[in-house]
Chains A and B, each alone.
Chain A
Amino acid sequence: MKEGDSTEKLVESLVEELNCETVFTIPVFGGIAVDEGVVVTWIIMAVLTILSIVFVRNLSVEKPGKVQLMLESVIGWAQDFFEGIIGKENRGYIPYLMTVALYLAISNVIGLLGFKPPTKDMNVTIALAVMSMFVIEWSGIHRNGLVHWCKHFAKPVPIVAPIMILEIVIRPLSLCMRLFGNMLGGFVVMELIKQVVPLIVPIPFSFYFDIFDGLLQAYVFVFLTALFMTEEME
């Protein structure tokens, strides 16, 4: 009966990880529960804000320092990358996409520092997907006008209209599920490997599941958002 016991324990620990714990409650309006993911998001926001302030402090045109050169090359690369997808005339959306990419990249690998990754909580990925949904639809309306946006559902033939309307919801749903499933899947596989062989063997797997997969999913999320936006702006 030892086998069954360990399975039970594993299932219990997985359920524990799936539930988002409430860290504290704000005592207004009958108590607003603040989840772990929200607190970790606040920490990420604080770190990113402080880093942004520190990095842009001593910028100069004549004598760029090492930090400035590095920063310029990274930002320039990211800007070129997004410009290649959504086009030069829509560069106003690039800061939003870069912000989401930065937040996702940090929150996906923050598990290495002992925090619980916010993206392993489905509420966070749903919120991000809803943001993506509004940006995608807004980009289409802003570019081509409301009338064209209403009409484009009936193209190329009116019979596809239900599918096109469903697509508004399906695209963010698949974005959200992909991110959440990948994060959770990597976590579950890592837990299983750690149970079987707790020594040395998990290290290469951790490189893949914790670092490579996290960064890849952040990339895929913003890449697909930008791609859907271009599709909508056509």
Chain B
Amino acid sequence: MSGTIIAIGAGIAVLTGIGAGVGIGIATSKAVDAIARQPEADGKIRTSLILGCALAEATAIYGFIIALLIVLLLK
């Protein structure tokens, strides 16, 4: 029984991925938009896109680490 609850908890922790996915999706769509408008600025757009993606992805990584700790340490 406790195993099931632990699994549910880990699953809830991984739900942080939703935010990161939506965030990176919006950022990429805006970046594509910006490159289509101004193709000569693609270098600067790419660097800021990668920065934004890295920062948005961090939340998903935190959720993943918490889920992993729940599964591995509470079993």
Decide yes or no whether B12 CB sits under 8 A from chain A: no
Decide yes or no whether A11 CB sits under 8 A from chain B: yes
State in angstroms the CA–CA spacing of A14 and B73 once bound together. 12
Query: Secondary structure of the B side of the interface?
Result: helix
**Which residues in B have their C-beta under 8 angstroms from that of A182?**
57, 61
Interface residues of A in 167-190 (CB under 8 A from B): 174, 177-178, 180-182, 184-185, 188
Interface residues of B in 30-75 (CB under 8 A from A): 47, 50-51, 54, 57-58, 61-62, 64-65, 68, 71-72, 75
Do residues A185 and B61 form an inter-chain contact, with CB atoms below 8 A? yes
State in angstroms the CA–CA spacing of A14 and B61 once bound together. 17
Do residues A185 and B75 form an inter-chain contact, with CB atoms below 8 A? no
Do residues B58 and A174 form an inter-chain contact, with CB atoms below 8 A? yes
State in angstroms the CA–CA spacing of A38 and B20 once bound together. 33
Decide yes or no whether A18 CB sits under 8 A from chain B: yes
Decide yes or no whether A220 CB sits under 8 A from chain B: yes
**Which residues in A have their C-beta under 8 angstroms from that of B51?**
223-224, 227
- Chain B residues with a Cβ closer than 8 Å to the other chain, count: 14
State in angstroms the CA–CA spacing of A63 and B65 once bound together. 53
Do residues A14 and B54 form an inter-chain contact, with CB atoms below 8 A? no
State in angstroms the CA–CA spacing of A188 and B68 once bound together. 10
Query: Secondary structure of the A side of the interface?
Result: helix
**Which residues in B have their C-beta under 8 angstroms from that of A185?**
61, 64
**A interface residues with partner B (beta carbon < 8 Å):** 11, 14-15, 18, 85, 174, 177-178, 180-182, 184-185, 188, 219-220, 223-224, 227
Q: List 29 interface pairs A-B (beta carbons < 8 Å), by A numbering.
A: A14-B72, A15-B72, A85-B47, A174-B58, A177-B58, A177-B61, A177-B65, A178-B54, A178-B57, A178-B61, A180-B65, A181-B65, A182-B57, A182-B61, A184-B65, A184-B68, A185-B61, A185-B64, A188-B68, A219-B50, A220-B50, A220-B54, A223-B47, A223-B50, A223-B51, A223-B54, A224-B51, A224-B54, A227-B51
